[in-house]
């Protein structure tokens, strides 16, 4: 089962029967945010909110990518890991 659009890829992740690794989840998050919102212009979360900081950094890893490029990378990544989790 392969996704061809961002919506199909998102739907495919909801069919995962086990949770992807933290690294995979962060990559998915960063690519999705870049694909839907563009470059991260928010401030770095402070304090001890490690989850928010990790998500912020995952999104920053994609800075400069066009929304279309990030969308294609998100779809490809979902397709590549879907066999492990469905």
List the chain domain ranges: 6-85
Q: What is the pLDDT of residue 74?
A: 98
Q: Which of 75, 62, 59, 73 is nearest to 6 (CA)?
A: 75
Q: What is the pLDDT of residue 71?
A: 98
Distance of alpha carbon 62 from alpha carbon 42, whole angstroms: 14
* Residues shown for the chain: 86
Q: What is the pLDDT of residue 47?
A: 81
Kindly report the pTM of this predicted structure: 0.94
Architecture of the domain spanning 6-85: Up-down Bundle (1.20)
Q: What is the pLDDT of residue 20?
A: 97
In the predicted model, residues of the chain with pLDDT beneath 70 are: none
Q: What is the pLDDT of residue 37?
A: 97
């Amino acid at each position: 089962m392969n996704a061809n659009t961002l919506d199909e890829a998102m739907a495919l992740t909801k069919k995962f029967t086990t949770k992807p690794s933290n690294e995979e989840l962060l990559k998915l998050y960063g690519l999705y945010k870049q694909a839907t919102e563009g470059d991260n212009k928010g401030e770095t979360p402070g304090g001890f909110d490690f989850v928010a900081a990790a998500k912020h950094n995952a999104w920053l890893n994609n800075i400069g990518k066009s929304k279309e490029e990030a969308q294609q990378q998100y779809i490809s990544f979902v397709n590549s890991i879907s066999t492990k989790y469905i």
